[in-house]
Structure 1
Amino acid sequence: MIFLISEKAHGQALDLVVQRGHLFPVEKLCFHENNKFLASKDARQNIIIWDFMLGKEIVRFKDTSNVVAMDFLAFKDVLVTFNESGFIKYYDIESGDMLYRIPFNAEVKKIIHFNNNVLMMGDGLYLVDFESEEITKLTPHNFEDIKFSYSNYKFVGYTLNSEVIELDTLMEETKRGFLSSVDYSKLFQKNKQFSPADKVRADLVEMDAKNQTFFYLEDKFLKQTELFTGINKLKKNLHVEPNCMAVDDQGNYLVMGSKDGHTFLYNLKESYMMESKTHLGTVNDIEFSRDGRYFASVSDDYSVIVWSTIDGKLIHDLKSKALPVYGLDFKEESKTLFMAQDQGMVTVIDLKSKIDLPEKYHQTDHVGVVSDIKVAGSKYFTSGLDNTIVSYDIKTHQKLDETKLDKKNESVAETKSYGDEFIYSIQPSFDQSKLMVFYGTYKDDNIVQKLKVVSTADLNNVVKDQEVTSIEVPEEFMFPGSEYYYLPSFNYGSWGTKNYVGWISKKEFIVSSENTFALYEVKNGEVFEKEPMVQLLDEVTAVVKPNASQFFFSMGKALYSMKDYKEENVREINSHQDVITDLISSNDFLFTSSIDGTVKIWDKQIEELIATIVPFVDNSMLIFTPDKYYLSINGAHQHVGYKMGSEFVPFENYDLKYNRPDIVLKRLGLSEEATIHMLEKSYEKRLRKFGFTKDQITNTFYIPTVKIENKDAIPLISDKSNLDLDLKIEDENMNLDRLNVWVNGVPYFGMNGFDLKANKSKKASKKLNIGLSKGKNVIEVSAINVSGGESIKRKIEIFSNQDVGERSLYLITIGVQKFQDPSFNLNYSVKDATNIHDYFIGVNFDHSYDFKLLNEDFNLTKLEELKTVLKGSKPQDQVVLFIATHGLIDADFEYYFATSITNFNKPSEGGIHKSVLDNLLDSIPARNKLVLFDACHSGEIDKEDVVMAGQVEKDENVTFRAAGKTIKYGDINVQKVAELEELLFEDFRKGNGSTIMTSSSGVEFSMESEEWNNGLFTYALIDALRTSVNKEDVENLFENVFQKVQDLSKGNQTPTMRSFNKNATYFIK
Structure 2
Amino acid sequence: MQKALITRLIALTFFFYTGDKLHSQNTELVLPGDFKGSIFAGDISPNGKWLATGTSVGEVKLWDLISGKQLKTFKNDSDMTVKVLFSPDGKQVLSHWPLILWDRTTGLRQYLAKDEDPFDFCFSPNNKFIYISAAKNKELLIIDRVTNSITKRVPLFDNPYCIRVSADGNLLAGDMGSEVWIWNTTTWEVIEKIPDEGAVTKNKFNFIPGTNQLLIQTDKKIINWDYKKHVAQINYPAQNGYFTNFALIPGTKQFVTSSSDSLFIYWELSKNKPIRKEKTNFYTDLLLIDPEGKKIVYNDYFGREVIVANIDNFRKLATLGGSTQPISSLDISSDGNKLAILNKKYIRIWDLNQQKNIVSIPTHLNYVYSVRFSPDGKYVAYGTPRNDIIIADIARGDEIYRLTGDQRIINSLAFSPDNKLLASGGEDSSLYIWDLEARKPIVIQKKLHSPPHSMSFSSDGMLLAVAHWIPFISLYDAHSGTSIKQFNGTIGPIETIHFSKGDRRLYFDMKDSVIRYWDIVTDKWGSLTKMDMHGIRSSIIEPERNLFISGDENGNLIFQNGSSDLQIKSKPHANNITSLVLAEKQGLFISSSTDNTVKFHNLKTGELVATLLLVDSIDQFLVLPDNNYSGTKRAISMVNFRKDNVVYPFEQFDLQYNRPHEVYKALGVKDTALLTVYKRAWEKRMKRAGIKEEDFTSNIHVPQIRLLNEDNIPANTNSNKLTLQLNSTDDTYFLDHYKVLVNDVPIAGRDLRISGQKSHENTDSISIELSNGLNKIQVSVNNEKGTESPYVTTYIEYRPNAPTPAPATYFIGIGVSNYKDDSRTLRYADKDIRDLAALFKSRYPDLKIDTLLNKKATKENILQLKEKLSKTKVDDRVIISVSGHGILSDSLDFYYATYDMDFEKPSQRGILFQELEALLSDIPSRKKLLLIDACNSGEIDKEDPLASSKASNPCKDLKTYNSKGGKMSKSSETTTSTSQNSFVLMQELFADTRKSNGAIVISAAAGSEYALEDSKWKNGVFTYSFKKAFQENPKNYSVGQLKEYLIQSVYLLTCGRQKPTVRVENLEFNWNIW
Same fold (TM over 0.5): yes
Deviation at 1:726, TM superposition (A): 1.0
Which segment drifts farther, 858-867 or 961-970?
A: 961-970
Which segment drifts farther, 911-920 or 791-800?
A: 791-800
Q: Does 1:537 align with 2:537?
A: no
Aligned to 2:641: 642
Inter-CA distance 172–500: structure 2 relative to 1 (3 Å threshold): same
Give the residue type in structure 1 aligned to 2:339. F
Q: Does 1:612 align with 2:615?
A: no
Aligned to 1:304: 306
Contact 2:94 / 2:101 at 8 angstroms: preserved in 1?
yes
Inter-CA distance 391–434: structure 2 relative to 1 (3 Å threshold): farther
Aligned to 2:30: 17
**2:427 maps to which of 394, 418, 421:** 418
Deviation at 1:820, TM superposition (A): 5.1
Inter-CA distance 45–916: structure 2 relative to 1 (3 Å threshold): same
**1:768 maps to which of 766, 769, 774:** 766
Q: How far apart in 2 are the matches of 1:951 and 1:940?
A: 20
Q: How far apart in 2 are the matches of 1:196 and 1:607?
A: 56
Inter-CA distance 90–748: structure 2 relative to 1 (3 Å threshold): closer
Map 1:96-107; keep pairs closer than 5 Å: none
- The DSSP-based 3-state class of the residue aligned with 1:834 is helix
Q: How far apart in 1 are the matches of 2:621 and 2:543?
A: 28
- The DSSP-based 3-state class of the residue aligned with 1:881 is strand
Contact 2:349 / 2:357 at 8 angstroms: preserved in 1?
no
Give the residue type in structure 2 aligned to 1:434. G
Aligned to 1:466: 483
Give the residue type in structure 1 aligned to 2:532. L
Q: How far apart in 2 are the matches of 1:342 and 1:465?
A: 34
- The DSSP-based 3-state class of the residue aligned with 1:728 is strand
Contact 1:35 / 1:52 at 8 angstroms: preserved in 2?
no
Aligned to 2:61: 49
Q: How far apart in 2 are the matches of 1:969 and 1:208?
A: 79
Map 1:311-322; keep pairs closer than 5 Å: 314-322=316-324
Map 1:605-684; keep pairs closer than 5 Å: 605=604, 608-633=607-632, 635-684=634-683
Question: Normalising by structure 1, what TM-score?
Answer: 0.72
Aligned to 1:918: 917
* CA distances 1:866-920 after superposition (whole Å, capped 9, x unpaired): 2244334443444332222234456776544332345667866754333322221
**2:992 maps to which of 982, 987, 1000:** 987
* CA distances 1:90-134 after superposition (whole Å, capped 9, x unpaired): 899999999799798998698889568454599996547896699
Q: How far apart in 2 are the matches of 1:315 and 1:963?
A: 48
Contact 1:819 / 1:825 at 8 angstroms: preserved in 2?
yes
Map 1:201-220; keep pairs closer than 5 Å: 208-209=208-209
Q: How far apart in 1 are the matches of 2:1050 and 2:801?
A: 41
Q: How far apart in 2 are the matches of 1:638 and 1:742?
A: 17
Aligned to 1:434: 461
Give the residue type in structure 2 aligned to 1:992. N
Q: How far apart in 2 are the matches of 1:1027 and 1:560?
A: 53
Map 1:133-282; keep pairs closer than 5 Å: 136-137=153-154, 154-155=170-171, 170=186, 208-209=208-209, 246-247=247-248, 279-282=280-283
Which segment drifts farther, 420-429 or 994-1003?
A: 994-1003
Q: How far apart in 2 are the matches of 1:492 and 1:918?
A: 67
Aligned to 1:481: none
Deviation at 1:778, TM superposition (A): 4.5
Aligned to 1:457: none
Deviation at 1:253, TM superposition (A): 9.4
Contact 2:47 / 2:714 at 8 angstroms: preserved in 1?
no
Q: Does 1:448 align with 2:449?
A: no
- The DSSP-based 3-state class of the residue aligned with 1:724 is strand
Q: How far apart in 2 are the matches of 1:107 and 1:607?
A: 42
Give the residue type in structure 1 aligned to 2:819. F
Give the residue type in structure 2 aligned to 1:537. D
Aligned to 2:434: none
Deviation at 1:655, TM superposition (A): 0.7
Give the residue type in structure 2 aligned to 1:947. A
Inter-CA distance 105–579: structure 2 relative to 1 (3 Å threshold): closer
Deviation at 1:770, TM superposition (A): 1.8
Give the residue type in structure 1 aligned to 2:472. V
Contact 1:817 / 1:826 at 8 angstroms: preserved in 2?
yes
Deviation at 1:311, TM superposition (A): 11
Give the residue type in structure 1 aligned to 2:474. K
- The DSSP-based 3-state class of the residue aligned with 1:697 is helix
Q: How far apart in 1 are the matches of 2:805 and 2:397?
A: 57
Contact 2:935 / 2:1009 at 8 angstroms: preserved in 1?
yes
Which segment drifts farther, 918-927 or 672-681?
A: 672-681
Q: How far apart in 2 are the matches of 1:968 and 1:385?
A: 56
Give the residue type in structure 2 aligned to 1:448. F
Which segment drifts farther, 879-888 or 626-635?
A: 879-888
Q: Does 1:364 align with 2:363?
A: yes
Inter-CA distance 690–897: structure 2 relative to 1 (3 Å threshold): same
- The DSSP-based 3-state class of the residue aligned with 2:353 is coil
Inter-CA distance 449–215: structure 2 relative to 1 (3 Å threshold): same
**1:31 maps to which of 23, 32, 44:** 44
Which segment drifts farther, 121-130 or 323-332?
A: 121-130
Aligned to 2:95: 80
Contact 1:949 / 1:968 at 8 angstroms: preserved in 2?
no
Give the residue type in structure 2 aligned to 1:71. L
Deviation at 1:69, TM superposition (A): 5.3
Inter-CA distance 972–452: structure 2 relative to 1 (3 Å threshold): farther
Aligned to 1:724: 723
Contact 1:9 / 1:700 at 8 angstroms: preserved in 2?
no
Give the residue type in structure 2 aligned to 1:80. S
Deviation at 1:1052, TM superposition (A): 7.9
* CA distances 1:724-759 after superposition (whole Å, capped 9, x unpaired): 211234689999997442234422163x85589999
- The DSSP-based 3-state class of the residue aligned with 1:29 is strand
Aligned to 2:882: 883
Which segment drifts farther, 651-660 or 552-561?
A: 552-561
Contact 2:885 / 2:961 at 8 angstroms: preserved in 1?
yes
Map 1:559-578; keep pairs closer than 5 Å: 559-561=558-560, 564-567=563-566, 570-571=567-568, 575-578=572-575
* CA distances 1:371-399 after superposition (whole Å, capped 9, x unpaired): 56456344465566969766666666665
Contact 1:656 / 1:687 at 8 angstroms: preserved in 2?
yes
Contact 1:635 / 1:984 at 8 angstroms: preserved in 2?
no
- The DSSP-based 3-state class of the residue aligned with 1:376 is coil
Inter-CA distance 500–16: structure 2 relative to 1 (3 Å threshold): farther
Q: How far apart in 1 are the matches of 2:983 and 2:279?
A: 36
Deviation at 1:851, TM superposition (A): 3.2
Q: How far apart in 2 are the matches of 1:346 and 1:284?
A: 29
- The DSSP-based 3-state class of the residue aligned with 1:611 is strand
Aligned to 2:85: 71
Deviation at 1:162, TM superposition (A): 12
Aligned to 2:898: 899
Q: How far apart in 2 are the matches of 1:397 and 1:257?
A: 38
Contact 2:886 / 2:963 at 8 angstroms: preserved in 1?
yes
Give the residue type in structure 2 aligned to 1:825. T
Inter-CA distance 412–274: structure 2 relative to 1 (3 Å threshold): farther
Give the residue type in structure 1 aligned to 2:44. F
Consecutive unaligned residues in structure 2, runs of 5 or more:
1-13, 414-424, 431-450
Deviation at 1:836, TM superposition (A): 3.8
Q: Which has the higher contact order (CA 8 A, sep 6+)?
A: 2
Q: How far apart in 1 are the matches of 2:504 and 2:400?
A: 36
Deviation at 1:921, TM superposition (A): 0.6
Q: How far apart in 1 are the matches of 2:808 and 2:851?
A: 17
Aligned to 1:189: none
Inter-CA distance 56–868: structure 2 relative to 1 (3 Å threshold): closer
Q: How far apart in 2 are the matches of 1:447 and 1:323?
A: 30
Aligned to 2:435: none
Q: How far apart in 2 are the matches of 1:818 and 1:537?
A: 80
Deviation at 1:987, TM superposition (A): 1.0
